[in-house]
């Protein structure tokens, strides 16, 4: 034990650009003074894995925001809505996002800085194509929520976590994100003492993310079983990649590990070991990892990409401006 601090086939970068949901410009109401409608934004392919079925603001109205005040009004509205972010939104505190929302950046222009987004006690939320920098807390926090898709974002420099998921949240997919310049990256389950809320929940699919020099928690898992870490690219990871603790069950499958001494292990800090099964991963100048125990069956159909091709696919398709 280490003690330290729906069916799919994806081939090549073209998969990252698959379009399944279009935001219709004719329904756009802009918060700026522009008199012409801006081009529509397209969302990437629908989420696979545990977050499948998340639709966000599809079917609702569309609004484009350029200021923090307009952003807060839009994301906290009770209406089903697509919120297009065009410009830098400077936040001073964690900002709650209401249910049935898609919050999506326009091209590479959508940026959130200063603080992050709080997805708390809600359902059916998509956070997509946004650059998060320098949050004074988490970049994205998810708690007491279900049906969440966090997709194609670029996240760096958060004071706490890049994407933290906790407090009985479940049915979530975290896909095609690039995280970098980040110590504590992705936490799943916040406390060893929270088994009563978290057991049977915290079911998350992490697919096609680029963990680019992140130090730890890629992810660090408590209680969730199964958790699926599928076809991600781990490059130059510092302390460790994946940790399974506190009765968690993690399947680490088809990932590409490069320059990562400790790709995965059991136990972390004062947390007891969970279970971890590794399958068909690819290693370049990396350790072999630690496995043990059994993991519940993945309850959805999928086809894993060959691990040796994951680096090329993920570096071409992860992050902003790729949808």
Sequential pLDDT tens for the chain (323 residues): 454 443 333 333 333 333 333 332 333 344 432 322 333 444 566 899 999 999 999 999 999 999 999 999 999 999 999 999 999 999 999 999 999 999 999 999 999 999 999 999 999 999 999 999 999 999 999 999 999 999 999 999 999 999 999 999 999 999 999 999 999 999 999 999 999 999 999 999 999 999 999 999 999 999 999 999 999 999 999 999 999 999 999 999 999 999 999 999 999 999 999 999 999 999 999 999 999 999 999 999 999 999 999 999 999 999 999 98
Distances (CA, A) of 303 to 11, 199, 206, 230, 237: 11, 27, 14, 10, 26
Rounded to the nearest 5°, which phi and psi values hold at 26?
Answer: -65, -20
Tell me which H or E stretch contains 21. strand 19-22
Q: Report pTM.
A: 0.89
Q: How far is CA 129 from the centre of its chain?
A: 11
157 burial via Cβ count (<10 Å: 0-12, 13-18, 19+): middle
Going by C-alpha positions, the residue among 242, 247, 256, 241 that lies closest to residue 294 is: 247
d(CA 87, CA 102): 16
Tokens, residue 229: 């870490």
- pLDDT of the residue at 46: 84
Q: Are strands 186-188 and 81-90 parallel, antiparallel or unpaired?
A: unpaired
3 state SS of 315? helix
d(CA 57, CA 131): 20
d(CA 269, CA 287): 20
Tokens, residue 25: 């410009």
Q: How far is CA 199 from the centre of its chain?
A: 21
- pLDDT of the residue at 44: 61
- pLDDT of the residue at 41: 46
3 state SS of 314? helix
- pLDDT of the residue at 26: 30
Q: Which residues are annotated as catalytic?
A: 217
Q: Are strands 264-266 and 154-156 parallel, antiparallel or unpaired?
A: unpaired
């Amino acid at each position: 034990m280490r003690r330290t601090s729906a069916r799919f086939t994806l081939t090549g970068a073209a998969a990252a650009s698959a379009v399944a949901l279009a935001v219709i410009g004719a329904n756009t109401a802009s918060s700026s003074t522009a008199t012409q409608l801006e081009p529509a934004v397209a969302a990437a392919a629908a989420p696979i894995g545990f977050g499948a079925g998340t639709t966000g603001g599809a079917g609702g109205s569309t609004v484009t925001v350029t200021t923090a005040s307009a952003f807060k009004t839009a994301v906290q509205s009770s209406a089903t809505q697509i919120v297009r972010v065009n410009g830098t939104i400077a936040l001073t505190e964690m900002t709650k996002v209401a249910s049935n929302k898609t919050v999506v950046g326009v091209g590479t222009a959508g940026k959130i800085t200063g603080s992050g987004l709080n997805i708390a006690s809600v359902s059916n939320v998509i956070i997509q194509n946004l650059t998060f920098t320098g949050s004074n807390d988490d970049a994205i926090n998810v708690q007491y929520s279900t049906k969440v898709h966090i997709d194609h974002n670029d996240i760096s420099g958060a004071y706490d976590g890049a994407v933290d998921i906790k407090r009985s949240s479940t049915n979530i997919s975290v896909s095609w994100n690039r995280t970098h310049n980040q110590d504590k990256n992705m936490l799943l389950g916040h406390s060893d003492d929270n088994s009563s809320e978290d057991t049977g929940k915290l079911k998350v699919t992490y697919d096609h993310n680029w963990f680019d020099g992140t130090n730890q928690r890629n992810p660090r898992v408590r209680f969730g079983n199964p958790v699926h870490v599928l076809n991600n690219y781990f490059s130059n990871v510092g302390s460790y990649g994946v940790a399974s603790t506190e009765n968690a069950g993690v399947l680490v499958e088809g990932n590409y590990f490069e320059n990562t001494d400790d790709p995965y292990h059991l136990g972390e800090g004062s947390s007891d070991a969970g279970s971890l099964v590794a399958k068909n991963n690819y290693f370049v100048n990396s350790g072999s990892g630690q496995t043990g125990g059994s993991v519940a069956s993945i309850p959805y159909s999928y086809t894993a990409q060959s691990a040796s091709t994951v680096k090329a696919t993920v570096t071409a398709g992860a992050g902003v401006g790729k949808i």
